[in-house]
A and B are shown apart, each in its own frame.
Chain A
Amino acid sequence: MLALKDVGKTYPNGVHALERFSAEIQPGEIIAIIGGSGCGKSTLLRAIAGLDRASTGSVTLDNAVITSPHAEIGIIFQEPRLLPWLSVADNIGFGLADLPADARRERIAAALARVGLADKAAAWPRELSGGQAQRVAIARALVPQPEVLLLDEPFSALDAFTRRDLQDHLLDLWADTRPTLILVTHDVDEAVVLADRVLVMRPRPGRLFEEITINLARPRDRKSELFDTFKRRVLTALDRSLDRSVRDVTDKSSAGEAMWW
């Protein structure tokens, strides 16, 4: 179980990015974190990943306190971040350096086939499309079979069709080993189609505003009325979260900040 207790972050420049965030996340759960700009979503994710240390509170995974990157926690960023000097296959195997060569090759081949890129094994990253590159990134993160996979707006740079494809594909891959997924997103549709729970955050300082449980069976029909109902609920919560922050911060509110959709 992943436990977040009073996680807060104040950057050295004085920016108070995240305040007392607490949550308990069960193994195999899919969590979507959504909110306007500056609500500390990415800060939170980086603290869970152990890339940045929280200023207050703690992140624990199965009773191990996370202060630096952990073998059981993988992360996928907004950009694929593939290593341009390694072939697609070697990129996927990047985290498997400790395995004997045979076992590594098998795992890589299986992962390549699983993400539908078996024919691209020898290709260089720059020969891939954006969607293909992100699939390689997903394979690279999943191939060491982490308990927890963090995703920081992983599909936001892709076009709508590719994004949908990859959302469905991610669920497929998730079903293989059922890791915990924690997904930061701007996209209400994405949150509702993927998550068991949607955590709506509000900005300045970032904190949890509302938690919405999506008890819809998978696979979810994006066109169903029930799906729309949940989307409306998330949208309403987001609206309220931003209204309230506008009232809190009396000096200025920029239109750009409110454009989370």
Chain B
Amino acid sequence: MTVDLPALEQTAAPRAAPARWSRVVRPALGLVVPVVLALGWELVVYLGYSNGRLVPPPSKVFETIVALAKSGELSRHILATLWRVGAGFALGVIAGTVMGAISGYWDFAKRLLDPTVQALRAIPSLAWVPLFVLWLGIFETSKVALIAVGVFFPIYLGVMGAILSVDRKIVEVGRVFRLSGPAMIRRILLPAVLPAYVVALRVGLGLGWMFVVAAELIGASEGLGYLLLDGQQLGKPAQILAAIVIFAILGKLTDWLIEVAAAPLLRWQDAFGARGGA
């Protein structure tokens, strides 16, 4: 597809320049509001209309990040949080994928398990926190478990739904070519569910980031969530904002990693549509 791209631009020569221009400008347009707000606030504080104590200006937030980074604190907190999200996400993905695949593939298992899973899903996941603390202690295990629970449900639902909606007609093609069970899964079912699976992974990761904050507010001595709590208790709003900014960056970055890793596998689906839209 990358080969076709320049060719398309050549054939549409008169429109190529504005198209490229809009490709840069359109995402940049989204930055206008936050940048104007940030600069405006910076200016308000700089000119002395506000002391910026409760809402620190961007420069102050940036300073805090730099200071944290220099002391080595920042990387320690980031690594702790990343480890928790990574472990919880991995566990949630494995459990969700296995259970979702079983329920999607095997009708009996779905009748047996799905009502229970759906009932559990209805419980607000934070309600588990006291129980997990009692069962698993205040340290890492309960945090990872909470994140895994948050990740589990969207993955489970995504995988089950994707398998249930695989086109019977496509499965029949596999039957006509006498694919064995494993070959049917590898050559028909897996590629067919992949797009929905990637979406489920991204939703699950988003929830993982949500739950890591909850988990770290339970009581942690390190992690970005600890920075939030510490900032609140010691009255350091710049530190809270610094942690929020880093959460945003990490969340976006990890989501982007999934997107990039999946892109070559989903070229058959996306490439043309994305190009047609430009």
Contact = CB atoms under 8 A, between A and B. Distances in A.
A74 B176 contact: yes
B135 interface: no
Contacts of A86: 268
Contacts of B194: 85
Contacts of A126: 268, 272
A76 to B, nearest CB: 10
B26 interface: no
Contacts of A81: 169-170, 172-173
Interface in B126-179: 169-170, 172-173, 175-178
A149 B173 CA distance: 14
Interface in A75-113: 75, 77, 79, 81, 83-86, 94-95, 97
Contacts of A23: none
A94 B188 CA distance: 11
B191 interface: yes
B10 interface: no
B269 interface: yes
Given A77-B169, A81-B172, A83-B191, A95 B272 contact: no
Interface residues of B, number: 17
A83 B188 CA distance: 8
- For chain A, give the interface size range: 20 to 34
Given A83-B191, A84-B268, A84-B269, A49 B169 contact: no
A57 interface: no
Contacts of B172: 51, 77, 81
B177 A124 contact: no
Contacts of A77: 169, 172
Nearest to A84: B268
Interface string A1-19: 0000000000000000000
A124 B268 contact: yes
A94 B191 contact: no
Contact of B268 (A68, A71, A85): A85
Contacts of B188: 83
B191 A85 contact: yes
B170 A83 contact: yes
A38 interface: no
B272 A69 contact: no
A74 B173 CA distance: 10
A69 B175 contact: yes
Contacts of A51: 172, 175-176
Interface in A57-74: 68-71, 74
Contacts of B178: 68-71
B176 A69 contact: yes
Contacts of B169: 77, 79, 81
A127 B271 CA distance: 11
A148 B177 CA distance: 14
Nearest to A78: B169
A85 B166 CA distance: 13
B72 to A, nearest CB: 46
Contacts of A71: 178
B173 A83 contact: yes
12 contacts: A68-B178, A69-B175, A69-B178, A75-B176, A77-B172, A81-B169, A81-B172, A84-B268, A85-B194, A85-B268, A124-B272, A127-B272
For the complex of A and B, 9 pairs with smallest distance between CB atoms: A85-B191, A85-B268, A95-B177, A124-B268, A81-B173, A69-B178, A69-B176, A81-B169, A75-B176
Given A51-B175, A94-B177, 9 more contacts: A69-B176, A69-B177, A75-B176, A81-B169, A81-B170, A85-B191, A85-B268, A126-B268, A126-B272
